[in-house]
A and B are shown apart, each in its own frame.
Chain A
Amino acid sequence: MDDRLSAWEERLSRELDQAVREVRAPAGLAAAARAGGRRRLSRRRALVAVPAVVAAAGGAVWAGTSGPAPQATTPAAPSPATPSTTPSTAPRTPVPPADPQAGKPAEEMAAVDRFYEQYRYSDAERLAGVWNVDTWEAKVKGGRLLLSGGEIPAAP
């Protein structure tokens, strides 16, 4: 009704505050969130870029024959499998040493990354119920399944 709180309401407010006062967020949250945010951006940009790439390459991009694109005049060595993971321009933002980690191994993060390419958080919740695990485990398990060529027993 009015915006003034009764004594009971004030007490409730205090109790709620007290109840969670000692709760602290995990230490690596910022790094994990930033890493997750970057993955989202990467996915988004990759999705945006796909039509242009396909058009430019005449649909033959994925054929494996595209080889080293006409980037340099000297085809030095058979380009190693670390093409774009190290941007040549020095990153301007301070990247913490153990960025993708918030106590979560890189393999798990990769699995979750894979999961999010097809599924969403709400799917993870559904799967968590089906598999009787928590949401994080559902994402990891689902991502691993997808990475190994398997299927998740639920449509995205």
Chain B
Amino acid sequence: MRRRGNREPVPVVLPGVGEEFEEFVTAGSDRLLRLALLLTGDRALAEDLLQDVLERVYVRWRRIEDPHAYARTALARRVTDRWRQRGRRPREVALEDWHGEAVADGAAERAERSRVLEALRALPPRQRAVIVLRYFEDWSEEQIADQLDVSRGTVKSQASKGLRTLRTLVGEEVGARWTTG
């Protein structure tokens, strides 16, 4: 083909994939973006990563049994691999940037929530990933270990350290309130 000069991408259409893929993205992308956001702490990075993962899903569509599970795992792996490779920490961003629209709750709750997110951001990368997968995605320890390719012991210790740090950073009063419900 002649793609070297002026490269107009040659469309490659996977027959039958379009509608299903569209449905999958429509149904799942909000939730996936939220996961990416908690994992990275950066809206732009999260969107970029999500698009990258969705492109991979599209390419492998016919071979994937559960695209939602596949995308979650791919996202988590890409984030932890990236951290593993570079030891890179996500950039700090203002919390307001996360939201496309105003959050309709009180200032006190928002302040408390922002404290939790700040604390989450302060965690070392893998601890944060384990916390997010465990408490946002509701994955079991076994599932996390399996999908992130680490031992269950590692997941336990990372979760335990992460929780301890979060408790400290969130503050005792908030922690006490949470514990009493």
Contacts and interface: CB of A to CB of B under 8 A. Distances in A.
Contact of A26 (B2, B47, B109, B136): B47
Contacts of B181: 7, 11
Contacts of B37: 20, 23
A78 B6 CA distance: 18
A13 B38 CA distance: 12
B104 to A, nearest CB: 8
Which residue, A5, A36, A136, has most C-beta atoms of chain B within 10 A? A36
A16 interface: yes
Contact of B1 (A46, A91, A109): A46
A: contact size bracket:
35 or more
Given A39-B9, A92-B15, A30 B1 contact: no
A22 B110 CA distance: 13
Contacts of B166: 12
A86 B59 CA distance: 20
A23 to B, nearest CB: 5
A6 B164 CA distance: 13
A35 to B, nearest CB: 8
Interface in B21-61: 21-22, 25-26, 29-30, 32-34, 37-38, 44-45, 47-48, 50-52, 54-59
A92 B50 contact: no
Interface in B93-136: 98-103, 105, 109, 112-113, 116-117, 120, 131-132, 135-136
Contact of B156 (A1, A36, A39, A85): A1
Contacts of B103: 21-22
B72 to A, nearest CB: 14
Chain B interface main SS type? helix
Contact of A114 (B7, B45, B105, B135): B7
A82 B34 CA distance: 41
Nearest to A2: B141
A21 B31 CA distance: 9
Contacts of A45: 12
B136 A11 contact: no
Contact of A24 (B30, B50, B138, B167): B30
B65 interface: no
A151 interface: no
A84 B3 CA distance: 10
Contact of A30 (B7, B15, B25, B85): B25
B141 A3 contact: yes
B86 A125 contact: yes
Interface string B73-88: 0000000001001101
A13 to B, nearest CB: 4
**What 7 A-B pairs are tightest by C-beta distance, nearest first?**
A37-B58, A93-B18, A33-B54, A25-B29, A30-B25, A36-B55, A20-B34
21 contacts: A11-B179, A13-B136, A16-B120, A16-B136, A18-B113, A19-B116, A22-B102, A22-B103, A23-B100, A25-B32, A36-B51, A38-B12, A38-B13, A42-B3, A42-B11, A53-B1, A87-B13, A100-B9, A122-B82, A125-B86, A136-B44
